[in-house]
Amino acid sequence: MSEVNPKRLVHPNYQSWDYSGLEDLCLHIGRGTAPRYVESSEIFAIGQRCVAAEGFLPQFAKPHSERAMQNVLTAEVGDVLLNSTGTGTVGRSAVFDDVGQYIIDGHITLLRPKKSKCSPSWLNSVLTSNWGQKHLERFCYAGSTNQVELSASALRRTELPTPLFEHQSKIAEVLDTLDAAIRGTKAVVAKLRAMKQGLLHDLLTRGIDANGDLRPPQPEAPHLYQKTPLGWLPKEWDETTLGAIAEVDRGQFTHRPRNDPRFYGGEFPFIQTGDVAAAKGDFVTRYSQTLNERGVSVSREFPAGTIAITIAANIADTGILAFPMYFPDSVVGAVVHEGLNTRFVELWIRRAKRLLDARAPQSAQKNINLQDLRPLEVFLPHKEEQDAIGDSYEALFSKLNREQRLLDKLRLQKSGLMDDLLTGRVPVTPLL
């Protein structure tokens, strides 16, 4: 077996690139210094929160005294910032790309690539790759588990398989383009999530009028609203309870011990609280276990369309069954009566999550029961408005899911491209 070279960052090298030391690729590799924080300044100190997977985050930099600029390390565009202390943060890197004045604090190592010899984005991609992270962890970290430190001297000695500069630049260009798409899609997802929360509040307090629009807020149209124990709600909404509009029953699994393998491994989906929580109100399509015929005999089946509600540990997490499923008594099933909109009822239960959670005894494991759920107050619009509210929510939820799937796809695509381009498996020569 060949001896491992602690200097060399090991990854497949399909183009037989020569190895170059980081000290040869960079003008400077070193830590910053402790900042002197002030209330206000034109100069900011870069700390570890500024260095994130999505890039340099200037909003987390803190004002640094303009009188304390002796022996500090200032940041220049194109510097690679590498977090250097602390489990969970050490090893994270980003390219500095801001035009403001910044100094580097003592928890960050700065790598300043030589122009026309080392592309900052390429170097950052190598450091963030699986191979780069493994090398740092194995050969460049020192200290105990909770006090991990990056060794600058070990980092300087590191050698990388190094393509020609123009090839580095093209690799960086391809990956940066994908990064920009990821950032853009991530921003859309964040915006849609915020919109979803706002829309959920509006739908369940203002509803949708006969024209298909949200009613004006109560202060603008007080005649459209009634005062209720839950706040101002549309006058047309009738007070009822969850138990009056749905069959609300606990799941069951009567055999003990619960984990007896003789009852599992069949074809019948069996969900737990975690499966419901993972659905986040959407349709429950995944299940962690299955029951066999013996398991079915001690459990309870709920039909497709049932609202699953967690009542132990996680309180009032919800999901709608996409197909028939079984569950234990830590989950309650609410089968909404015919003629009512299941999505509207699920949204109403979701709205009550904080209230239900507050009712749970503060014991080792929180729990509520049917006596908390069945009397739950519900204010019910007529069926047409229930449908409109459900459809409005589903439209935004579907758009959010599409964007999230696109984001997941882009991230997977980037992972594959990093493997291909950084190893030379796919040469960039045709792109030059």
pLDDT tens-digit map of 36-51: 999 999 999 999 999 9
pLDDT tens-digit map of 227-237: 999 999 999 99
Q: Could you give phi then psi for residue 232, rounded to 5 degrees?
A: -75, 125
At the top level of CATH, the class of 164-219+382-432 is mainly alpha
Q: Quick check: pTM over 0.85?
A: no
pLDDT of residue 3: 65
Mean pLDDT of the chain: 95
Note whether 91 and 124 are within 8 A (CB): no
* 164-219+382-432 and 20-162 share a CATH fold: no
Q: Could you give phi then psi for residue 305, rounded to 5 degrees?
A: 95, -10
pLDDT of residue 1: 44
Least confident among 6-10, 28-32, 377-381: 6-10
Residue 23 CB partners (closer than 8 Å, separation 6+): 29, 156, 157
pLDDT of residue 135: 96
- Residue spans of the domains in the chain: they are 20-162, 164-219+382-432, 238-380
Note whether 403 and 141 are within 8 A (CB): no
Token pair listed for 38: 């002030």
Q: State the average pLDDT over residues 217-242.
A: 98
The fold for domain 20-162 equals: Adenine-n6-DNA-methyltransferase TaqI; Chain A, domain 2 (3.90.220)
The fold for domain 238-380 equals: Adenine-n6-DNA-methyltransferase TaqI; Chain A, domain 2 (3.90.220)
Q: Could you give phi then psi for residue 152, rounded to 5 degrees?
A: -65, -35
Residue 162 three-state SS: coil
pLDDT tens-digit map of 305-341: 999 999 998 899 999 999 999 999 999 999 999 999 9
pLDDT of residue 363: 67
pLDDT tens-digit map of 261-292: 999 999 999 999 999 999 999 999 999 999 99
pLDDT tens-digit map of 242-269: 999 999 999 999 999 999 999 999 999 9
Binning pLDDT at 50, 70 and 90, where does residue 432 land? confident
